[in-house]
Amino acid sequence: MRSIEHQDPTMTNQMAGEMAVLEIDSLVRRFGGLAALRQVSFAVNAHEVLGIIGPNGAGKTTLINVIGGIYPPTSGRILFQGRDITELPAHLRCRLGIARTFQIVRPVQGLNLLQNIMVGSLFGRGASLKEARSQSLGICQFMGLSRVDRAIAKLTVLEIKKMEIARALSTQPRILLLDEVMAGLNVDETREMIDLVRQVCAQGVTVCIIEHVMSVIRELTERVIVLDHGEKIAQGPYEEVSRDPRVIGAYLGEEE
């Protein structure tokens, strides 16, 4: 799949000229009469960790779903490494290098821990069974997952969350979209997870992270996007944004 990319000359030119891995251009998504995203635009730069925050129902998960190709935008464009992928189906986006996790974990029940991770390698990267196995075992080691032939039912919450990330990593992504991976973890586990995300980033993967736990955002991200009612209301370093009255207002509105 990668080879196809390089055959496209326009793309390589753009890659050279710009640092943005992912560009979102006036994205709109409606569900019936309800607009979940309204004219959202931003870019994700290579090798950065971008935070996406906002109150419940702000459209964060919808944004990830639209970028991941679960459903198409009502209007707007998505560019990945300069290439327009707005019309591309989800599995091809994954093969281009966009991987994601799910807010509510979605392990495949019929497969065990290792097999779950292999799915990404097999189909996202087109590996053979043998390659997928060894690669996935490597990722397990990296993630600190042991006894890899366990059934999903026997895993802890942390392990399932790690498995989701491992499955995403096994597709060898350029960009990883993390949807609330810290939710439900205790302090120590959160610590461990933050370190993991750092290591992932250190390997050259760009990360987009949705998170409710602000300490995580503060620690991990260089930049955040704030969504409210489907609209981008602020962007910038967390310290800056958290002082923005609109952002405070949005979060206060949620308290009521």
Partner 1 sequence: MAFPLYAGVYLQHTATIILTYLCLALSWDMLVRTGQISFGVAGFFGIGAYSAALTALNLKLDPLLSIAVGGLAAMAAALVLGLTTLQLRGMYFAITTLALTEIFRVIVRNLPGLTGGPEGTVLPSAIFDGDPTKTYWLLLAIALVTIAISEAFQRTRVYFAITSIRHDEMVARSSGLDIFKYAVFVFAVTSAIQGIVGASFAQQYAFVSPEGTFDIDFTLLPIAMCLLGGMHSTLGPIIGALVLGSVAEYLKLQLPYGHLLVYGAVITLVILLMPQGVAGKMKEQFVREQ
Partner 2 sequence: MSALPRSRRYQIAVPLALFIVVLAWWHPYAVIEGVQRAGLYAAIALPMALILGIVGIVNLAHGDFLMLGAYLAYWFAVHTQGDPLVAILPAALGLFLLGAVVYRATIKHVIGSSELSQLLLTFGLAIVLQQTATLLWTSQPVSINTEYTSTSATIGSLTFGTYGFVYVAAAVIEFAGLTFFLQRTRLGQAASASGQNPVGARIVGINVDRVYLIVFSISLALAGAVGVLFLTRHAVFPLVGGGLTFKSFCLAAMAGLGNLRGILWCSLILGLAESLVSTSKEYAGWADLIFFVAIVAVILVQSHRRQVT
Chain contacts with partner 1 (rule: CB under 8 A) = 68-70, 89-92, 94-95, 99-100, 102, 106, 108-111, 115, 118-120, 122-125, 128-129, 132, 167-168, 171
The answer to whether the CB of 90 falls within 8 A of the CB of 70 is yes
> What is the closest distance, in whole angstroms, from the C-beta atom of residue 178 to partner 1 in the complex?
13
- Select the binding partner of residue 115 from partner 2, partner 1, none (C-beta < 5 to 8 A, by kind): partner 1
Q: If you search the block for the tokens 């939710």, which residue do you land on?
A: 183
> What is the closest distance, in whole angstroms, from the C-beta atom of residue 114 to partner 1 in the complex?
11
236 three-state secondary structure: strand
Residue ranges in contact with partner 2 by CB under 8 A: 71-72, 74
Q: Which two tokens stand for residue 76?
A: 């707007």
- Select the binding partner of residue 29 from partner 2, partner 1, none (C-beta < 5 to 8 A, by kind): none
Q: Please identify, using beta-carbon distances, which residue of 128 and 141 lies nearer to partner 1.
A: 128
Question: If you count them, how many residues does the chain have?
Answer: 256
> What is the closest distance, in whole angstroms, from the C-beta atom of residue 3 to partner 2 in the complex?
27
Closest CA to 226 of 45, 19, 63, 67: 63
- Select the binding partner of residue 194 from partner 2, partner 1, none (C-beta < 5 to 8 A, by kind): none
Q: Which two tokens stand for residue 48?
A: 């950065």
Q: Please identify, using beta-carbon distances, which residue of 51 and 107 lies nearer to partner 2.
A: 107
> What is the closest distance, in whole angstroms, from the C-beta atom of residue 190 to partner 2 in the complex?
29
Alpha carbons within 13 angstroms on the beta-carbon side of residue 26 total 2
b/e per residue, 7-44, with b = 16+ CB within 10 A? eeeebeebbeeeebbbbbbebbbeeeeebbbbebebbb
- Select the binding partner of residue 72 from partner 1, partner 2, none (C-beta < 5 to 8 A, by kind): partner 2
The answer to whether the CB of 154 falls within 8 A of the CB of 77 is no
The answer to whether the CB of 119 falls within 8 A of the CB of 126 is no
- Select the binding partner of residue 111 from partner 2, partner 1, none (C-beta < 5 to 8 A, by kind): partner 1
> What is the closest distance, in whole angstroms, from the C-beta atom of residue 177 to partner 2 in the complex?
22
- Select the binding partner of residue 171 from partner 2, partner 1, none (C-beta < 5 to 8 A, by kind): partner 1
Q: Please identify, using beta-carbon distances, which residue of 71 and 237 lies nearer to partner 2.
A: 71
> What is the closest distance, in whole angstroms, from the C-beta atom of residue 152 to partner 2 in the complex?
17
- Select the binding partner of residue 129 from partner 2, partner 1, none (C-beta < 5 to 8 A, by kind): partner 1
Q: Please identify, using beta-carbon distances, which residue of 115 and 235 lies nearer to partner 1.
A: 115
Q: Which backbone phi and psi does 70 adopt, to 5 degrees?
A: -65, -45
Q: Residue 13: in which H helix or E strand, if any?
A: helix 9-17
Closest CA to 36 of 53, 56, 11: 56
